[in-house]
């Protein structure tokens, strides 16, 4: 089947994207703030116990993120004036209110990320998914005072209805589609548009450490190599660079050292816009209205 959400658009034929103050790269940092259920399997560092109930080894390894890792990440981001766009499980709001309070103080943006990463979206019927999305957004709004404008599905899972339901609940941008270095418009059923924003499944500590088996130093090298190429390309056509982080991974001391080195390298360059997801999409919609109209009407 064809998804019918957007038409093919080679980056080399597009009108160049311009960023504020002539920036070449918009740096978009996404801390994934997640809650995991004690009796359900999820991201694991050791597969030998992943099917057990309870799986103390992997559950407590993930729990390090909210108890310790996120606080180390917060200090590093503060040092380089980087505001996070937190992909937020709504269950974090009740479970770890201190994290919400810290993010509020730092001016972080809150992006919907399902209720828990122990529950994925694929195979939900439309009514169930709609209830879930509305409940997640309502919960985050009640906790933070702001209704999310962005959404990242747990494990980037969707049904065929997800973009339509998100837009109908007020979501303006979606991070699940990891197929570009620039935002683009997606068609939804109410005739409006939803915007895809460049999330990364590779400049991402989950895949780097758990799938590829990279060392922290290799992850650092990936980040700066990615930045160097996008920065060079961005001289004529600006790019978005996302760095996707999970505190139960990057928050460990031997890894966080290299995250700090990467932030130091990137922020030492001129022409880097330290932006939130909503800032990126708001600018893109304003600066590229004609191209967006053509994308959703063709």
- d(CA 117, CA 248) in angstroms, rounded, equals 13
Write down the pLDDT at residue 294. 57
- Map tokens 């080894």 to a residue: 57
Q: Two tokens at 182?
A: 């620039």
pLDDT higher than 60, residue 297: no
SS3 169: coil
Write down the pLDDT at residue 191. 84
- Map tokens 């993010």 to a residue: 103
Rounded to 5°, the CA angle 206-208-214 comes to 135
In which band, very low, low, confident or very high, does the pLDDT at 298 lie, cut at 50, 70 and 90?
A: low
Nearest of 226, 237, 238 to residue 266 by alpha carbon = 226
pLDDT higher than 80, residue 155: yes
Question: Each residue of 47-92: pLDDT tens digit?
Answer: 999 888 999 999 999 999 999 999 999 999 999 999 999 999 999 9
Please report which residue ranges of the chain form alpha helices under DSSP H. 56-64, 70-79, 91-95, 97-105, 126-144, 162-168, 205, 216-233, 247-250, 253-267, 277-287, 289-297
Write down the pLDDT at residue 82. 98
End-to-end Cα distance, the chain:
19
- d(CA 92, CA 63) in angstroms, rounded, equals 12
Specify the higher pLDDT residue, 262 or 293: 262
- d(CA 103, CA 84) in angstroms, rounded, equals 8
Whether the predicted model's global pTM rises above the 0.85 cut: yes
- d(CA 110, CA 214) in angstroms, rounded, equals 29
In which band, very low, low, confident or very high, does the pLDDT at 1 lie, cut at 50, 70 and 90?
A: confident
Residues 220-242, mean pLDDT to the nearest whole number = 98
- d(CA 293, CA 298) in angstroms, rounded, equals 8
Sequence-separated (6 or more) residues with CB below 8 Å from residue 226 = 203, 241
pLDDT higher than 70, residue 291: no
Residues 206-213, mean pLDDT to the nearest whole number = 97
Q: Could you tell me the residue ranges of all domains in the chain?
A: 17-297
- d(CA 18, CA 137) in angstroms, rounded, equals 31
Provide the pairing of β-strand 173-174 with 193-196: parallel
Residues 176-187, mean pLDDT to the nearest whole number = 97
C-alpha dihedral sign at 185, 204, 70, 63:
positive
Question: Each residue of 100-118: pLDDT tens digit?
Answer: 999 999 999 999 999 999 9
Q: What is the CATH number of domain 17-297?
A: 3.20.20.370
Write down the pLDDT at residue 41. 85
Dihedral in degrees, nearest 10, Cα atoms 223, 24, 21, 29: -30
Write down the pLDDT at residue 45. 94
Kindly report the number of other CB atoms within 10 A of residue 73's CB atom: 23
CA of 214: how far to CAs of 208, 209, 218, 222, in Å? Answer: 6, 5, 6, 10
Longest dimension (CA), the chain: 54
Nearest of 137, 164, 269, 259 to residue 203 by alpha carbon = 259
């Amino acid at each position: 089947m064809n998804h019918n959400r957007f038409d093919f658009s080679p980056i080399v034929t597009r009108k160049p994207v311009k960023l504020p103050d002539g920036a070449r790269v918009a740096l978009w940092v996404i801390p994934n703030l997640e809650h995991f259920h004690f009796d359900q399997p999820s991201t694991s560092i050791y597969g030998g116990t992943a099917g057990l109930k309870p799986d103390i080894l992997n559950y407590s390894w993930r729990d390090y993120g909210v108890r310790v890792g996120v606080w180390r990440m917060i200090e590093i981001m503060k040092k380089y004036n980087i505001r996070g766009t937190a992909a937020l499980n709504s269950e974090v709001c009740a479970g770890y209110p201190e994290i919400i309070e810290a993010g509020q103080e730092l001016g972080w943006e809150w992006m919907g990320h399902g209720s828990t990463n122990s529950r994925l979206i694929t195979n939900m019927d439309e009514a169930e998914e709609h209830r879930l999305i509305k409940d997640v957004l309502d919960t985050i709004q009640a906790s933070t005072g702001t209704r999310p404008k962005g959404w990242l599905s747990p494990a980037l899972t969707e049904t065929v209805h997800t973009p339509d339901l998100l837009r109908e609940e007020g979501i303006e941008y979606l991070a699940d589609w990891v197929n570009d270095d620039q935002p683009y418009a997606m068609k939804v059923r109410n005739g409006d548009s939803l915007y895809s924003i460049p999330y990364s499944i590779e400049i991402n500590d989950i895949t780097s450490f758990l799938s590829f088996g990279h060392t922290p130093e290799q992850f650092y090298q990936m980040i700066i190599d990615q930045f160097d190429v996008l920065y060079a390309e961005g001289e004529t056509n600006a790019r978005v660079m996302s760095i996707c982080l999970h505190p139960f991974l990057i928050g460990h001391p031997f890894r966080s050292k290299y995250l700090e080195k990467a932030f130091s390298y990137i922020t030492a360059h001129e022409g880097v816009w330290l932006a939130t997801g909503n800032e990126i999409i708001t600018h893109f919609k304003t600066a590229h209205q004609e191209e967006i109209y053509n994308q959703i009407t063709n």
